[in-house]
Amino acid sequence: MKQSMPVPVSCTLPQKNEGCIETLIQLKITLATGVVARVISIKGEFCLNIIRRSCHT
């Protein structure tokens, strides 16, 4: 099973985007159970983009 890009733990998100971590956890659970919830997937992608912008590696 291919792992998705890990979320950097050292990363600090803007206050308004704190819900993104919870969304990404839900997204991982969703993918793990094989049930694709489109809304969570879209929000997850959005949050990953925010995270990538917030923490350049």
pLDDT of 48: 73
Location of structure tokens 């819900």: 19
Range of the domain at 38: 15-54
The structure tokens listed for 16 are 């308004």
Decide if 19 is inside a domain. Answer: yes
Decide if 1 is inside a domain. Answer: no
In this predicted model, what pLDDT tens digit does every residue of 5-55 receive, in sequence order? 555 444 555 556 656 667 667 666 666 665 555 555 666 677 777 767 765
pLDDT of 8: 47
Decide if 45 is inside a domain. Answer: yes
Decide if 3 is inside a domain. Answer: no
pLDDT of 30: 63
pLDDT of 53: 72
The structure tokens listed for 37 are 């919830």
Number of domains in the chain: 1
